[in-house]
């Protein structure tokens, strides 16, 4: 569906908005803004990871669609609450793979060992992301030493400690974040929504 049709179709306002923001063509200014937004911390982190690569040749649920303070350019879409794991069962810096919001969407959950933006759980250190690169959809792997997600196809790097922000490489979008809830009554972690657009989809349709 082209943008004009998406904009005029009932019930597809969010799709059309995503399509316009996440379409195949990236405006130069958008790419420039993404690159110049890299902080000194993220720059140093990317540099360290790049050096290693050269030597070795890598919240809460929201009701309705809305943008978030963590990633104001991304629209959040809610999904059915899905139990993923017990918080106590997660080991620090050991990713847990799962699928959400459907079997074709590959994700990883991480316990980072210290409170991070958007983190949930008893220590506020548990986050989750889609592990399809936002550049061309290649699978990402987690580098335990650098504590980043890395794309083996075109070497994009994402920082899970900073909302999945793009740190280096050809990607121009942050990783879609899987929003989590923690139920302290039984220690269960639930996936409840997706923040951002999963690669290859116009509006994260189930």
Six token digits for residue 91: 């080991």
Give residue 115's pLDDT.
Answer: 96
| Tokens matching residue 59 | 């919240």
pLDDT-derived band of residue 60, with 50, 70 and 90 as boundaries?
A: very low
Determine what percent of the chain is predicted with pLDDT higher than 90. 55
What is the model's pLDDT at position 70? 55
Output the pLDDT for position 192.
94
Indicate if the pLDDT at residue 188 is higher than 60: yes
The range of the structural domain enclosing residue 149 comes to 39-195
| pLDDT recorded at residue 77 | 67
Average pLDDT of the chain to the nearest whole number: 75
**Is 21 within the bounds of a domain?**
no
Task: Tell me if 27 is assigned to some domain.
Answer: no
**What is the DSSP pairing of strand 188-195 with strand 140-143?**
unpaired
Catalytic, 135? Answer yes
pLDDT tier, 71 (very low <50, low <70, confident <90, very high otherwise): low
pTM, rounded to two decimals: 0.65
Indicate whether 123 belongs to any domain: yes
pLDDT tens-digit profile of 88-106? 999 999 999 999 999 999 9
The answer to whether residue 49 is domain-embedded is yes
Residue 13 lies in a domain: no
- Any idea which of 33-47, 66-80, 168-182, 190-204 has the lowest mean pLDDT? 33-47
Tokens of 146: 């650098």
Distance between CA atoms of residues 23 and 44, nearest Å: 30
Q: Which of 18, 22, 135, 182 is catalytic?
A: 135
On whether residue 19 sits in a domain, the answer given is no
Does residue 202 lie within any of the structural domains? no
pLDDT tens-digit profile of 27-53?
434 443 444 444 444 544 555 544 444
- Mean pLDDT value of segment 174-194: 96
Q: What is the CATH number of the domain that holds 131?
A: 2.102.10.10
Domain tally, the chain: 1
Mean pLDDT of 119-148: 96
Give the pLDDT of residue 76. Answer: 66
Residue 25 has pLDDT above 50, yes or no: no
Q: Give the whole-angstrom CA distance, residue 162 versus residue 174.
A: 10
Query: Is residue 74, in this structure, part of any structural domain at all?
Result: yes
Distance CA 55, CA 68 (A): 38
- Is residue 182 annotated as a catalytic residue, yes or no? no
pLDDT for the residue numbered 177: 95
**Cα–Cα dist 92/122, whole Å:** 13
Residue found by looking up tokens 């650098």 in the block: 146
- Is the separation of the CB atoms in 105 and 198 below 8 Å? yes
């Amino acid at each position: 569906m082209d943008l004009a049709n998406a904009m005029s179709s009932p019930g597809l306002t969010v799709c059309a908005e995503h399509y316009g923001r996440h379409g195949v063509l990236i405006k130069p200014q958008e790419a420039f803004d993404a690159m110049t937004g890299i902080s000194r911390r993220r720059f140093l982190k990317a540099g360290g990871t790049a050096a290693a690569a050269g030597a070795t040749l890598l919240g809460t649920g929201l009701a309705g669609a809305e943008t978030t303070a963590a990633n104001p350019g991304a629209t959040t879409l809610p999904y059915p609450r899905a139990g993923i794991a017990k918080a106590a069962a997660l080991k620090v810096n050991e990713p847990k793979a799962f699928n959400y919001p459907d079997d074709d969407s590959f994700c990883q959950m991480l316990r980072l060992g210290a409170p991070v933006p958007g983190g949930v759980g008893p220590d506020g250190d548990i986050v989750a992301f889609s592990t399809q690169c936002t550049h061309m959809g290649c699978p990402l792997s987690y580098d335990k030493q650098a504590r980043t997600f890395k794309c083996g196809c075109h070497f994009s790097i994402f920082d899970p400690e900073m909302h999945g922000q793009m740190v280096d490489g050809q990607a121009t979008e942050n990783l879609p974040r899987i929003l989590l809830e923690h139920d302290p009554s039984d220690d269960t972690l639930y996936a409840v929504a997706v923040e951002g657009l999963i690669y290859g989809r116009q509006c994260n349709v189930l």
